[in-house]
Each structure stands twice: as structure tokens, then as C-alpha cells.
Amino acid sequence: METMEAEDVASLTTYFGKDATSRYGDKAKDGAVEIETKAFAKVKYQKVLKEASSDYNKRLEVEGSDDSFQYILNGKVLTDNYAGDLASITPDLLKEVKVVWGEELNSNFNANGKRAVVIIVASPPKNLYNGKEKFNQK
């Protein structure tokens, strides 16, 4: 952890009691902390989105990365530090993925400098801190 930069962290998850020891054995009897980096989170959410949408998969192949994508989650434009939130979306939570590019991107979205908009509709994960707010639900 001493070599890890704070800006590289996507999420932290804490486990206690039986939850910790069932995951990590006796060495976690006092609890455990999982740290997920943004790079790992990106791999996770891209895998889920690629499996859910052939358009996403194709666009990602064309662009080579998602650096030029604008993500919109449940109507909320994601701007900073969203990798952990997107990585928390599992296939059972995902309701819809729509990818917009080309003429529709320019006419329907103000996505300056972006080459694609990825519209995601999903339920919030059960135990995500501030999940309903992050997923724009009341």
C-alpha cells in the first residue's frame, strides 16, 4: 500500500467477522480490506458492458480504449472517479446499454471531444455506499 497512489484507487471494501474469514481465512479474523484499482475496475466494467452490448464491444475495438467515451448512468453524466461505480455493476443489475456515435452523437448530445456516449441503465448494487445517489435513484 505504501507504493499505491490515492488517485489510483477505485474502491475500498471492508469485511468483518465470518465474511472476512470465509474470504481470506484465519488471517482475516480481525477484518480485511479489499482495494480495487481504477485499472482493474476498468477491466471489470468493460467486460460486463462488452458482454451486454455488441455495439459497445465494436466501438471499444474501433477506438482502442474508452478514453474518448462519455458514460451516462441512469441519466447522470459521469465525469470523475466513476470506475469503481461502473465496476460494481454486475450483469444481473444491468438493464440497458446503448452506445451512440457519429451523427446521432453530434445532434443529440453535447459531448465535446468525445467519440461515443455510453448510456447505461442499472439498479444500484445492494451494499454500495451511497448507491442510490450514485445511481441517481431515490
**How do residues 46-78 score in pLDDT, each as one tens digit?**
999 999 999 999 999 999 999 999 999 999 999
Residue 98 domain boundaries: 6-134
Q: How many domains does the chain have?
A: 1
For 87-110, how does the pLDDT look when each residue is reduced to its tens digit (9 = 90+)? Answer: 999 999 999 999 999 888 877 887
Rounded to two decimals, what is the model's pTM? 0.83
Smallest CA-to-CA distance from 92 within 129, 46, 126 is with 126
Confidence (pLDDT) at 80: 84
CA distances from residue 20 to 9, 39, 40, 41, 76 in whole angstroms, order as listed: 21, 24, 21, 21, 34
Confidence (pLDDT) at 131: 66
Would you say residue 101 lies in a domain?
Answer: yes
Would you say residue 1 lies in a domain?
Answer: no
Confidence (pLDDT) at 104: 83
Summarize the confidence of residues 101-130 as an average pLDDT.
84
